[in-house]
Structure 1
Amino acid sequence: MIRTLLRVTGRLAVSLAVLLTSLWACLALWYQLPGPAPVKIGAPVLWAAFGLAAIALLWRGRAARALLSYAVGFAMLLGWWGTILPSQDRVWADDVARQVTGKVEGSVVTMNNVRNFDWRSDTDHTARWETRRYDLDRLKSVDVALSYWTGPAIAHTLVSFGFDDGQFLTFSIEIRKERGESFSSIGGFFKQFETSLIAADEHDILRVRTNVRGEDVYLYRVHLPQPEMRSLFLAYLDEGAALARAPSFYNTLTANCTTIVYALAKRIVPGLPMDYRLLASGYLPDYLYDVGGLTPGYSMEALRAAGRITERAIATDKTPGADFSQAIRQGLPGVDAKAAQ
C-alpha cells in the first residue's frame, strides 16, 4: 500500500514538472521562434503533444523511456534558448532609440541623449535628444513617481532628481521596444525586450503619462541625505554606461523598473529589506514609508492624497508658459512652498 502510494505520488510530481516545463517551452517557442505565424503556432502545439505523450508513457509504466526522451528534448530547447542574446542593433521605437550616457568632471555631469520630446499623442511627437549639464553640488532633492495604468498593484517607477537652479532630471528603466512593438508582461519573461535607461525632462516623461496616455501618477519626496542623493544619481550613470557597453534583457519579475531601482538604492543604503512590494510595484510607496524613506511627519494616506499629480499636470496644458515641474509639486509634502511657486 505504501509502495503504491509513493509510486503514484512520484508520478504526479513528475507529471507536474513536465506540465510546467512544457508550458514554459510553449511560451518560449511562441515568443522567440522566428518564422511566420503557422511556424510560431505549430511548434508550441507539437511541444505540448510531446509533453503529453511523455506523461502518458509515464503512467503506462514506461517511465525511463518517457523521462529520457523528454529530458533530451528539453535540454536541446535550453541550448537553443541560450543562443538568444540581447542586441543593440534593432529598429528601435523613437522614444527608446538612444541610451543615455554621462561624463563626470569634478561635480559637473555632462549628460548625452537626455530625452525632451514634445508629445501631442502617443504616436505624434517632436523628437528631441539633448546634451545637458548638471552640477551635483547643487543636487537638492529626489522624488519617486509611480504611474498606474492597470489597477493598484502595478505601476511604472521613475526617479526624479531636482537641483537648486530649478532643473529636474528623471530616470526611467523601460523596455527597449522595437518599432511597432508594445509592452507585454508575459513577453517580458521570455526575452522579448531589451532594457533601456531613459533620462528625460519631466515635461516629457511625466506629462506623456498623465496628459497623453491617461495614466494616474503619484509623486513622493524621498528622504535622503545629499551624499546619498549624489551616489544614487551616479549609480544611474553607472547603469547607463553598463547598458551602453553590453545590452541586457528586461525581465518582468527580476529586472524591471522597480527591482533595478531597489538594486541601485541597496548599493547606497546597505541592508534594505527585500519585500513583495518591490514586485507588486504599485505598493512601492508603502514600502518606502515603512523603511522611513518618505517625508516624515505625515501619514501614508496624507502623502498619497497630496502626491497625486495627475490633475495638476493636466491643468498645465491650459496654462501657456506654466512650469510643469513646479506646478506638479504644489502642495507636495517635503517641498519648500517657495520652490514650488
Structure 2
Amino acid sequence: MSLLLLFATVVLALWGTGLIWFQGPGRAGRRTALAALWLAWLGGCVLWGWSPQRMATAWGLWLASLAAMLCWWSGLRPSNARDWADDVARPLHMQPLGPWSRGRQRLALERVRNFRWRSEADYDPRWERRSYDLARLASVDVAASYWMGPAIAHTLVSFGFDDGEQLVFSIEIRKRRGEQFNALAGFFRRYELALVAADERDILAVRTNVRGEQVHLYRVATPREVMRELFVAYAREAEALRGQPRFYNTLTANCTTIVWQLARRVGARLPLDWRLLASGYLPEYLRDLGVLTPGHTLEQLRAAGDITARARAWVAPPQADDRAAGIAFSRAIRAGMPPLPAQATENTPE
C-alpha cells in the first residue's frame, strides 16, 4: 500500500504542478513557490503514511488534495472575452444564403482572414466577408506544416473551387495578446480553441515565408457531396464555438483530432490511429487509407507537394486585384503536383 500511495502521489504531484504552473496566479516566481509548497505537502503525506498505522490518514490527506485540485480544475471556464491576438481576434460567422437543397448550398462567411504578413509583428489585418456556392467545390487538400521535427505538424484543410479560389480552415489555439504556444500548457486548459478560415496567401504563406516552416500539400480523393458536407461541418463548428467556447487540448482537441471528428461526423470511415496524435505522420495515415493521388509513392507526393520554396519565390502579378492575386498564389504553389483522376471526386451513388 505504501508503494501504491507513492505512485499515486507522483502522478498527482506532476498533474498538480502543471496546473499550478500554467494556471496559477502571478508571475513565474510566485507560481514556482506555490508549486514547491504543493510538492512539499504531498511529500509530507507520503512520509506520514509510510507507517501502516498512519496509512488511512495519509490516504485521507491525499484524497483531500485531489479533491481540491479537481475543484480548481472544474472551475476553469473557457471564454470568448479576452485580449486576443489580432490573428484570432474575430470569430468566424456563417450565414446561409437562401434555401439549402441537396447538391446546392450557398453560404456567406463573415470574418475570413486575409492578412498581409511582413513579419510576426508587422502585418496588415484584414477580415472579409465572402460568399460560396458549394456546388462549385472541386477539391480538398490537406496541408501539413512542420514546425518542430518530423513528428509534429500543424494540419490545415484547404477547399478548392472550380474558379481557382481556395479557402483554408485551421483549428488553432486562440492566443491571448503576446502569448506563445506551449504543448504542455495545452493539457491544462490554458488555451481556448479557434477555428480560422483564411485565404491561402495569408495562412500558408505566413508559415512558409514568416515563420520558417516547411509546408506540404496533399490532394485528397473526396466525393463532392462529402466535400460540401465537410465544408458545412467546419462552418457549423465555428458557429458552435462562437456561441459556446471550448478549451484546446494537446491530446484530444487539437488541429488534427478535431478534423478527424468533423470528417467522421459527415460519414467518413476513418479509424483511430496513433498518427492522429503524431500529426507529422498524417500523410502516411492518408496513404494507408488509399485517398492520396494514385500511381505515385508517398515520397513522390511529398516532394511534389512541398510548397515551401514556391511560396517564398512567388511574386504577385502586376496590377492584379486581391482576389486574382490569391488565385495566382494558389495555382503557383501547386505547380508540379499530380492531379487526382476525375472520378475520384465524383458524387457517390444515391
Which TM bucket (shorter chain)?
A: over 0.9
Residue 220 of structure 2 is aligned with which of 219, 222, 225? Answer: 222
Tell me, in whole angstroms, the C-alpha distance in 2 between the residues paired with 1:224 and 1:36.
49
Tell me, in whole angstroms, the C-alpha distance in 1 between the residues paired with 2:72 and 2:114.
40
Q: Does 1:328 align with 2:333?
A: yes
Number of residues of Structure 1 aligned to a counterpart in Structure 2: 327
Tell me, in whole angstroms, the C-alpha distance in 1 between the residues paired with 2:83 and 2:165.
32
Tell me, in whole angstroms, the C-alpha distance in 1 between the residues paired with 2:81 and 2:118.
28
| Post-superposition CA distance 1:165-197 (Å, at most 9, x none) | 121100000000000100100111111110000
Q: Does 1:201 align with 2:206?
A: no
Q: Does 1:70 align with 2:52?
A: no
Identity of aligned residues (%): 54
Residue 112 of structure 1 is aligned with which of 100, 110, 127? Answer: 110
Query: Cα distance, 1:37 vs. partner?
Result: 3.6
Q: Does 1:26 align with 2:17?
A: yes
| Post-superposition CA distance 1:137-159 (Å, at most 9, x none) | 10000000000011000000000
Tell me, in whole angstroms, the C-alpha distance in 2 between the residues paired with 1:195 and 1:207.
22
Residue 169 of structure 2 is aligned with which of 137, 162, 171? Answer: 171
The range that moved more, 71-80 or 232-241, is 71-80
Tell me, in whole angstroms, the C-alpha distance in 2 between the residues paired with 1:307 and 1:279.
22
Tell me, in whole angstroms, the C-alpha distance in 2 between the residues paired with 1:39 and 1:289.
49
Q: Given the superposition, is the C-alpha separation of residues 293 and 14 from structure 1 closer, same or farther in structure 2, using an over 3 Å criterion? A: farther
Partner residue in 2 for 1:213: 211
Extract unaligned runs of 5+ from structure 1: 1-9, 337-341
Query: Cα distance, 1:38 vs. partner?
Result: 3.6
Tell me, in whole angstroms, the C-alpha distance in 2 between the residues paired with 1:333 and 1:16.
54
Extract unaligned runs of 5+ from structure 2: 342-350
Q: Does 1:162 align with 2:153?
A: no
Partner residue in 1 for 2:344: none
Code of the residue aligned with 1:331 in structure 2: it is G
Tell me, in whole angstroms, the C-alpha distance in 1 between the residues paired with 2:258 and 2:153.
14
Query: Cα distance, 1:14 vs. partner?
Result: 2.5
Code of the residue aligned with 2:117 in structure 1: it is W
Code of the residue aligned with 2:84 in structure 1: it is W
The range that moved more, 102-111 or 226-235, is 102-111
SS at match of 1:264: helix
Conserved? CA contact 1:140–1:164, under 8 Å: yes
Query: Cα distance, 1:56 vs. partner?
Result: 1.4
Conserved? CA contact 1:329–1:335, under 8 Å: no
Tell me, in whole angstroms, the C-alpha distance in 1 between the residues paired with 2:177 and 2:204.
21
Tell me, in whole angstroms, the C-alpha distance in 2 between the residues paired with 1:335 and 1:127.
35
SS at match of 1:257: coil
- What is the TM-score normalised by the length of structure 1? 0.93
After superposition, residues 1-341 of structure 1 pair within 5 angstroms as: 10-61=1-52, 62-105=54-97, 106=100, 107-317=105-315, 323-334=328-339
- What is the TM-score normalised by the length of structure 2? 0.90
Conserved? CA contact 2:208–2:215, under 8 Å: yes
Superposition misfits of 4+ residues, deviation over 3 angstroms? 317-322
Code of the residue aligned with 1:284 in structure 2: it is L
The range that moved more, 224-233 or 270-279, is 270-279
Conserved? CA contact 2:294–2:340, under 8 Å: no
| Post-superposition CA distance 1:211-245 (Å, at most 9, x none) | 11110000000100100000110110111011001
